[in-house]
């Protein structure tokens, strides 16, 4: 794609998620992808992308700054949805120093940046990403008494297994939760009445200028599926979690039950990005429909109507565009039936939103991020 020198290359990202850790040089936004094109940009965001005057020199420089960086790496290989075109440059950072080096290299070469961790909760564009994708793979953690010091790239499943085995209570609700700790913190992941914020003591993050920050739990500004790390320009590097003493057998039983629940009710047999929409706040439900959905209301962590129930009631199970489909098993999932495309996901999401709004007057809000 040809872009004139110093002409802003406009890239938008959709609703933020618990896993993608989207970080750009400037400001995160909410946007939607238009059919066949890159995402539409909202007025408060411009991501500068200036093609180098000498491509050969750019290639040589980035290889020196980031040994091991890959060119034209297919992003479909690194996302759970198995969708996405090539990243111009792709770098795997296994520690905080590597993350900082990658950010410095991107700044020097004037490259746009996207931070990717476990690869769930994100839909990458069919066109790929024109700058540098930094994959977070710092995954060390230590458990001391009731305290867990963990890097952002550690998988939630690893933390759950290790903590419940030691009889530490506070993460058992996350049994079967996909993705990494950093993504969970960024989006304040939650399930079965629990949220990651309940265990957080402090979070270490880096800003776009390479400055380190330590946030207390209060400073993290956690809210429903959000935090300061989603709202501002920070990358989560590590966190301190505080747990309490519990019964190892009972905690293991709870974690296993959640894993089995996901296996039985979620369409894990197909590539997917996770829950497509946030659950609907029961308080925001139109009055005429509150009684209709009263029997499915749950606490998550406040009263919500599961979006899966709303989509099912709208008769949208199995709705398909191209090779992506609303899951028959769990309609808040969109599955990739094989060779699915991002633009088809966008079209399907818009169809679901339009039909739900028309039938129930409910405006669904995406939990998945579009890049």
336 membership: H or E segment, kind and range: strand 334-336
Round the CA-based radius of gyration of the chain to a whole number and report it: 20
Cα distances from 356 to residues 4, 196, 277, 345, 350, in angstroms, run 41, 30, 12, 16, 10
What is the C-alpha separation between 48 and 108, in angstroms, rounded? 13
Concerning whether 275 is annotated as a catalytic residue, the answer is yes
What is the C-alpha separation between 49 and 196, in angstroms, rounded? 35
Tokens 């905690």 — which residue? 251
Q: Which of 38, 101, 225, 341 is catalytic?
A: 225
Q: Which of 112, 275, 327, 366 is catalytic?
A: 275
Concerning whether 367 is annotated as a catalytic residue, the answer is yes
- Using a 10 angstrom Cβ sphere, with 0-12 exposed, 13-18 middle and 19 or more buried, the burial of residue 264 is exposed
What is the C-alpha separation between 164 and 123, in angstroms, rounded? 32
What is the C-alpha separation between 171 and 150, in angstroms, rounded? 13
- Encoded tokens for 146: 């009731």
Concerning whether 225 is annotated as a catalytic residue, the answer is yes
What positions carry a catalytic annotation?
225, 275, 367
């Amino acid at each position: 794609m040809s872009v004139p020198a110093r002409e802003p290359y406009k890239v938008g990202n959709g609703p933020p998620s618990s896993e993608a850790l989207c970080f750009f040089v400037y400001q995160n936004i909410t946007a939607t992808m238009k059919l066949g094109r890159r995402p539409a940009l909202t007025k408060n965001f411009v991501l500068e992308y200036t093609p180098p005057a000498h491509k050969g020199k750019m290639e040589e420089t980035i290889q020196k700054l980031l040994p091991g960086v890959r060119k034209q790496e297919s992003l479909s290989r690194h996302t759970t949805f198995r969708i996405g075109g090539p990243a111009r440059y792709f770098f795997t950072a296994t520690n905080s120093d590597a993350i900082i080096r990658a950010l410095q290299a991107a700044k020097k070469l004037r490259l746009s940046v996207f931070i990717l961790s476990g690869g769930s909760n994100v839909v990458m564009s069919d066109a790929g990403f024109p700058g540098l994708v930094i994959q977070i793979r710092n995954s060390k953690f230590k458990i001391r008494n009731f305290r867990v010091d963990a890097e952002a790239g550690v998988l939630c499943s690893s933390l759950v297994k290790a903590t419940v085995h030691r009889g530490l209570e506070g993460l058992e609700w996350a049994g079967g939760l996909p993705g990494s700790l950093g993504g969970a913190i960024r989006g304040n992941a939650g399930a079965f009445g629990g949220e990651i914020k309940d265990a957080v003591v402090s979070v270490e993050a880096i800003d776009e200028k390479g400055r380190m920050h330590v946030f207390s739990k209060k400073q993290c500004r956690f809210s429903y599926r959000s935090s300061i790390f989603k709202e501002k320009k920070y990358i989560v590097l590590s966190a301190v979690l505080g747990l309490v003493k519990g019964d190892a057998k009972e905690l293991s039983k709870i974690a296993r039950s959640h894993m089995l629940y996901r296996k039985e009710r979620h369409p894990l047999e197909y590539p997917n990005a996770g829950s497509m929409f946030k659950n609907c706040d029961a308080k925001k439900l139109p009055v005429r429909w509150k009684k209709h959905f009263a029997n499915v209301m749950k606490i998550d962590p406040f009263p919500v109507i599961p979006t899966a129930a709303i989509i099912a009631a709208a008769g949208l199970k199995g709705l398909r565009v191209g090779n992506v489909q609303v899951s028959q098993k769990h309609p808040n999932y969109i599955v990739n039936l094989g060779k699915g495309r991002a633009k088809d996901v966008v079209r399907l999401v818009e169809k679901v939103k339009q039909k739900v709004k028309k039938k129930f007057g409910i405006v669904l809000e995406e939990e998945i991020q579009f890049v």
